[in-house]
Structure 1
Amino acid sequence: MIWNTMMGTSILSIPWGIKQAGFTTGMCVIMLMGILTLYCCYRVVKSRSMISSVDTSTWEYPDVCRYYFGSFGQWSSLLFSLVSLIGAMIVYWVLMSNFLFNTGRFIFNFIHHINDTDAVLSTNDSNPVICPSAGSGDHPNNDSMIFYANDTGLEQFEKWWNKSKTVPFYLIGLLLPLLNFKSPSFFSKFNILGTVSVLYLIFLVTFKAIHLGFHLEFHWFMQTEYFVPEIRFQFPQLTGVLTLAFFIHNCIITLLKNNKNQENNVRDLSIAYMLVTLTYLYIGVLVFASFPSPPLTKDCIEQNFLDNFPSSDILSFIARIFLLFQMMTVYPLLGYLARVQLLGHVFGDVYPSIFHVLTLNLIIVGAGVIMACFYPNIGGIIRYSGAACGLAFVFIYPSLIYMISLRQEDRLTWPKLIFHIFIIILGLANLIVQFFM
């Protein structure tokens, strides 16, 4: 359950994050961030038991924050929780636009017998890998990559089926009505799609890695024509992505409440984090190691690694279809959670009126459309929102609450104080450095 909930859109950006950090550094960062976020999540789980003066059996983590920090803790935890939810919804909108665009292009190309790898840098084999950004994975190409002149049908297709100018708006008609439902129970029935999608991605990268083979050449500090160095100063971009990739701290208490044996909570949490870490390592390492360089360069790895496979690739087409339907069912659930948290706190009612709900949903959808049109870089969105919400829920609140509770019991020692202050400093540095990378 925890593994299924934690695995999200960040998995698509892990190979790009490893490329930014360097192969060896990237693997080390993934393992260290997994351990650090697990410890902070453990502190969240244990936070209620540190309060002995009142009954905390029904409390959620914002209630714990309110107990220690008053109304500031309540509203600040709400703010950062909304940042994580809305950030995830924006990433979903960008990805859904991407998947819908590529799905439409696959169908059009199939009908008209068009090979879309002719227009981009790619490997020349029966199962090609492409470099849509022509060597720069940091600035994905937002437009159609079909450049066949003097064909009215193709020109019209490119005009009306554009990744950044038209497709994000088409999704409004599909998803805005779904956000206004009073209950998300219908969409919660499709949670199994998340597990199926991740398992299919594991199969996809395994199959591609077997077909492509490994392409690795180790240079610790020097950039070569086809390979990135093992250690790169852009590694904080990966830490920002991983903060959101390992983020479950705002709902972990709710998830573990359903455990029949509460004494197994720590064990189950540790196993879940171990599985998530191994999944990220498996996907990231296989995609990075098997990326064909030469003839392409490792810098071609995209922020969404599926963009490195042409829309005509059948296996990638199936992956995009799986992910598109999964995200279309999860998106209304995230919108419902945002509505419950914001409107429930402000108005005391999760559905005060259709006007309130529609206004909130229009703001959220508008943010997604704007980002899909002007900044469709999911790696950037994930690392900024991850570092921001992680600052509070992962690094600051768990450490501060633990130190305060130990202080109240006269059990706070210098090693524990220094260690948890160091965690808070890491969280601050993780957020600040995102704006300089």
Structure 2
Amino acid sequence: MAAASVDTSSWEFPDVCRHYFGKFGQWSSLVFSMVSLVGAMVVYWVLMSNFLFNTGQFIYNHAHNVNVSDSEFGTNGSERVICPYPNTDPGGNDTISTLYLSSSGNGTSDVNDFQRYWSKTNTVPFYLIILLLPLLCFRSASFFARFTFLGTLSVLYLIALVTYKAVRLGFHLEFHWFDATQFYVPEFRLLFPQLTGVLTLAFFIHNCIITLMKSNKHQENNVRDLSVAYLLVGMTYMYVGVLIFASFPSPPLFKDCIEPNFLDNFPTTDKLVFVARAFLLFQMITVYPLLGYLVRVQIMSQIFGNHYPSFFHVLMLNILIVGAGVLMAKFYPNIGSIIRFSGATCGLALVFVFPTLVHMISLRRQGRLSWPSAIFHSFLILLGIANLIAQFFL
């Protein structure tokens, strides 16, 4: 896209924006790039807090013979599914209102003491700082890249878990258009922009794809490898999402009870779900520093021309990132809303506006921009704007 004499092989998208739009394009694309990456890191912190809390809760209950009995807000039978927040905001409490604890070996005060020091929102997000803040300060992220294979194992286990649960629960879908009940599942809802906001961030990798793939041994296979990666990710999202939605028992529960983190719809005593949480927790602990490395490379390189100017600079940046994660995990641990707002915001600039403008400017300079092409690409920009605006009215 740049002049033939300019080597663009190592350019990230902020460099492309700088070439076409000057300093404004460079810094604005950097800001929106940080919205996506930091937004993903915030979601990771919320999820890690959730997984660590439930993992610790399972171990404590098992070690102290604490029995968990569910109220009517759940299904009966060998495969329990619960609605954790039937009447409250999912971010409002860290104790499931439909659960009552009774211990055969310890007094109630012991349970209360544990809950005081092991709270999903008040303590556990701060415990993660002790482990993750030092890891973020590593100069190189190659050590954590060695553990990326755990992501594959986690995904395979998650697919197997979802398949097993779906077989045990069966499908619960009702599509009676003219004789609908309160459990009717409509084919279309006005809340669909929530999905488009989430998907924008879920499939967004434009701002750091060069950084991720420049270390590949066979660079000529990058397009093929990236295409396969997108295909596998999309198939995984579809498989897990469709099966969980279809098998969620409605009746007696409602589909609206499905949590953004669907593992929360299973009791803390579920051993298979406990293993899934432990897998995902360890995977995220290894991936989180990689995301921090991408943030550091982009910010420090743009400001100082060096991705590791000093330990003090890196530490200050990491404290800001970790602080954002802790605050959101404590006051607003709703991963669905975090993903869709950050996704729609960064997606407006880096998915809809800047790539479209770069493409049209490049065609115009070559004298190949036609009116139908200009109208079509302008429509894409309007879609991005509408996608962002719609998030604030849902």
- 1:30-70 residue CA offsets vs partner (Å, 9 max, x unmatched): xxxxxxxxxxxxxxxxxx4x754533233232221111111
Question: What amino acid maps onto 2:200 in structure 1?
Answer: T
Matched AA of 2:275: I
1:166-207 deviation digits (Å, cap 9, x = unpaired): 111111111111112222221111111111111111111111
Map residues 43-192 of structure 1 onto 2, 5 A cutoff: 48=1, 51-52=3-4, 54-119=6-71, 121-134=73-86, 139-140=90-91, 142-145=93-96, 146-148=99-101, 151-192=108-149
Aligned to 1:27: none
Equivalent in 168, 179, 183 of residue 211 of structure 1: 168
Higher mean C-alpha deviation, range 160-169 or range 338-347:
338-347
* Aligned 8 A contact 1:384 1:431 in 2: yes
Higher helix share: 1
Unaligned segments of structure 2, at least 5 residues: none
Q: CA deviation at 1:85?
A: 1.2
Q: What one-letter code is carried by the residue in structure 1 that aligns with 2:269?
A: S
The 3 A distance-change label for structure 1 pair 223 and 88 is farther
Mapping of residues 307-326 of structure 1, within 5 Å: 307-326=264-283
What is the Cα deviation at residue 368 of structure 1? 0.7
TM-aligned CA deviation for residue 140 of structure 1: 4.6
Measure, in 2, the Cα distance between the counterparts of 1:223 and 1:350. 58
TM-score of the aligned structures, taking structure 1 as reference length? 0.83
Q: Give 1:382's match in structure 2, choosing from 334, 339, 357.
A: 339
- Per mean C-alpha deviation after superposition, the further-off stretch among 175-184 and 140-149 is 140-149
Equivalent residue letter for 2:234: T
Q: CA deviation at 1:268?
A: 4.7
Q: SS state of the match for residue 253, structure 2?
A: coil
CA distance in 2, matches of 1:71, 1:411: 26
Aligned partners of 2:72, 2:319: CA distance in 1, in Å?
36
Distance (Å, rounded) in 1 between the aligned partners of 2:200 and 2:109: 47
Give the Å deviation of 1:326.
0.8
Aligned length: 387
| Structure 1 stretches of 4+ moved >6 Å | none
Which residue identity lines up with residue 166 of structure 2 in the other structure? A
Q: Distance in 2 between matches of 1:127 and 1:114?
A: 20
Aligned to 2:327: 370
1:106 to 1:249, Cα distance in 2 relative to 1, 3 A:
same
Segments of structure 1 that go 5 or more residues without pairing to the other structure are 1-47
CA RMSD of aligned residues (A): 2.2
2 CA distance for matches of 1:118 and 1:341? 48
For residues 342-353 of structure 1, the aligned pairs below 5 Å read 342-353=299-310
Change (3 A) 1:120 1:331: farther
- State whether residues 140 and 302 of structure 1, in contact with CA within 8 Å, keep that contact through their aligned partners in structure 2: no
| Alignment of 1:304 onto 2:261 | yes
> Which amino acid is 2:46 matched to?
V
- Say if 2:290 is the partner of 1:333: yes
Using the alignment, how far apart are the partners of 1:139 and 1:367 within structure 2? 19
The 3 A distance-change label for structure 1 pair 251 and 337 is: closer
Q: What is the match of residue 218 of structure 2?
A: 260
Counterpart contact for 1:66–1:72, Cα < 8 Å: yes
Secondary structure in 2 matching 1:430:
helix
Secondary structure of the residue aligned to 1:293 is coil
How big is the shift at 1:127?
2.0
Corresponding residue number in structure 1 for 2:231? 274
**Is the CA contact 1:205–1:286 (under 8 Å) kept in the aligned structure 2?**
yes
Query: Aligned pair 1:199/2:145, yes or no?
Result: no
Task: Name the % identity.
Answer: 66
Contact 1:94–1:376, Cα closer than 8 Å, also in 2: yes
Match of 1:42 in 2: none
Task: Give secondary structure in 2 for the equivalent of 1:165.
Answer: coil
1:357 deviates by: 1.8
Determine if contact 1:391/1:428 at 8 Å carries over to the other structure.
yes
**Cα 1:256–1:89, aligned 2, differ >3 Å: closer, same or farther?**
closer
For residues 154 and 424 of structure 1, the distance between their equivalents in structure 2, rounded to whole angstroms, comes to 54
Task: Give the C-alpha shift of residue 431 in structure 1.
Answer: 1.1
Contact 2:173 2:185 in 1 (8 A): no
Superposed CA offset, 1:378-410 (max 9, x none) = 000000111111112211111111111111111
- Aligned partners of 2:353 and 2:341: how far apart in 1? 17
Alpha carbons 2:43, 2:335 under 8 Å: kept? yes
